[in-house]
Chain A
Amino acid sequence: MSDAPPATADAESIAALSTGDLVPDEFPDTPPPPAPAARLFEVRPKPGVAESDEGELLEVSIGPHHPSTHGVFRMDVALDGERVRQLKPVFGYLHRNHEKLGESCSYLGSIPYTDRLDYFCSLTNNWAYVLSVEKLAGLAVPERAEYLRVIAAELTRVLNHLCLVGFLVHDMGAMGTPLMYAFREREKILDLFESLTGARMMCNYFRFGGCRCDLPPGWVEVAQRFVDGLPAFLDEFERLLNENEILLARTQGIGVLSPELAVNAGVTGPMLRASGVNYDLRKVDRYGLYDRFPFRVPLGDHGDTYDRYMIRILEMRESHKILTQALRDLPAGPVIDPKAKLRGFRPKAGEAYGRIEAPKGELGFYLISDGSPNPYRYRVRPPSFVNLTILEDMCLGHTLADAVVILGSVDIVMGEVDR
Chain B
Amino acid sequence: MDEGLRSELSKQGVFTTTLQELYNWGRRSSVWPLNFGLACCAIEMIAASMSRWDIARFGAEVFRPSPRQADLMIVAGTVTKKMAPMVVRLYNQMPEPKYVIAMGACAISGGPFKQGYNVLKGIDRYLPVDLHIPGCPPKPEALLHGIMKLQEKIAAQPLTGDGRPRHLQADAPAEFPVPAYGPYDLTPAKNETLWRPAALERQNAA
Interface positions of A (Cβ within 8 A of B): 64-67, 71-72, 92-97, 100-101, 104, 112-113, 116, 119-120, 179-180, 183-184, 186-187, 200-202, 414-415
Contact with A along B121-145 (1 / 0, CB 8 A): 0000000000000001101000000
Which B residues lie within 8 Å of A201 (CB)? 40, 43-44, 137
The residue among A72, A93, A116 with the most chain B CB atoms within 10 A of its own CB is A72
Interfacial chain B residues near A104, Cβ < 8 Å: 115
Given contacts A101-B113, A184-B51, contact A202 B80 (CB under 8 A): no
- Asked whether A65 and B42 contact (CB < 8 A) given A95-B80, A100-B116, A201-B137, the answer is no
Interface residues of B in 29-58 (CB under 8 A from A): 35-40, 42-44, 46-47, 50-52
Determine the distance from Cα of A201 to Cα of B51 in the docked complex, in whole angstroms: 18
> Pick the contact of B118 from A96, A112, A116, A184 — CB < 8 Å?
A96
How long is the Cα–Cα vector from A179 to B35 in the complex, in angstroms? 16
List of A residues within 8 angstroms of B137 by Cβ: 119, 201-202
Query: Do A94 and B78 touch across chains, with their CB atoms under 8 A apart?
Result: yes
Within the complex, which residue of A112, A180, A184 is in contact with B112, where a contact is CB–CB below 8 Å? A112
Whether B90 is near chain A, meaning CB under 8 Å from some CB there, is yes
Give the CA-CA distance A64 to B200 in the complex, in Å.
Answer: 37
Contact A183 B46 (CB under 8 A): yes
Contact present for A113 and B44 (CB under 8 Å): no
* A112 / chain B contacts, CB cutoff of 8 Å: 112
Q: Could you tell me if A119 and B116 are in contact, using CB atoms closer than 8 angstroms?
A: no
- Interface of B, helix, strand, loop or mixed by DSSP: loop
Asked if B50 and A96 make an inter-chain contact with CB atoms under 8 angstroms apart, the answer reads no
Chain A residue with the shortest CB-CB distance to B43: A119
- How many angstroms between the C-alpha atoms of A200 and B43 in the bound complex? 11
B117 within 8 A of A: yes
Q: When the two chains form their complex, are residues B50 and A179 in contact, meaning their CB atoms are under 8 A apart? A: yes
- Contacting A at CB under 8 A, from B136-190, are 136-137, 139
Chain A residues whose CB sits within 8 angstroms of the CB of B112 once the complex forms: 112-113, 116
Contact B38 A100 (CB under 8 A): no
7 more A-B contacts (CB under 8 A) besides A183-B46, A183-B50?
A65-B90, A72-B39, A94-B39, A112-B112, A113-B112, A187-B47, A187-B52
Contact A120 B113 (CB under 8 A): no
Interface residues of B in 73-92 (CB under 8 A from A): 77-78, 80, 82-83, 86, 90
Q: Which of A94, A183, A200 has a CB less than 8 Å from the CB of B80?
A: A94
Tell whether B95 is near chain A: CB-to-CB under 8 Å: no
> Is B37 a contact of A71 with CB atoms below 8 Å?
yes
At the interface, yes or no: B94 with Cβ under 8 Å from chain A?
A: no
When A179-B50, A183-B52, A202-B136 are in contact, do A97 and B117 touch as well, CB less than 8 Å?
Answer: yes
Question: Contacts of A64 on B, CB cut-off 8 Å?
Answer: 83, 86
Q: Are B113 and A97 in contact (CB under 8 A)?
A: yes
Name the CB-closest residue of B to A122.
Answer: B40
Question: Is B52 a contact partner of A96 (Cβ separation < 8 A)?
Answer: no
On whether the beta carbons of B117 and A202 are closer than 8 Å, the reply is: no
Query: Closest approach, in angstroms, between the C-beta of B144 and any C-beta of chain A?
Result: 14
A71 and B39 form a contact (CB under 8 A):
yes
- CB of A141 to closest CB in B, whole Å: 27
Cβ of B136: which chain A residues have Cβ within 8 Å of it?
Answer: 202
Q: Which of A67, A71, A180, A200 contacts B38 (CB 8 A)?
A: A71
B38 and A101: CB pair below 8 A?
no
Smallest CB gap from B87: residue in A: A65
Contacts of A200 in B (CB 8 A): 44, 139
B43 near A120: Cβ-Cβ < 8 Å = yes
Q: Is B72 an interface residue (CB 8 A)?
A: no
Q: Which residue of A lies closest to B54 (CB)?
A: A180
**Cβ-closest chain B residue relative to A414:** B39
Q: Please tell me if the beta carbons of A97 and B40 are within 8 angstroms of each other in the complex.
A: no
Q: How far is the CA of A71 from the CA of B118 in the complex (A)?
A: 17
B107 within 8 A of A: no
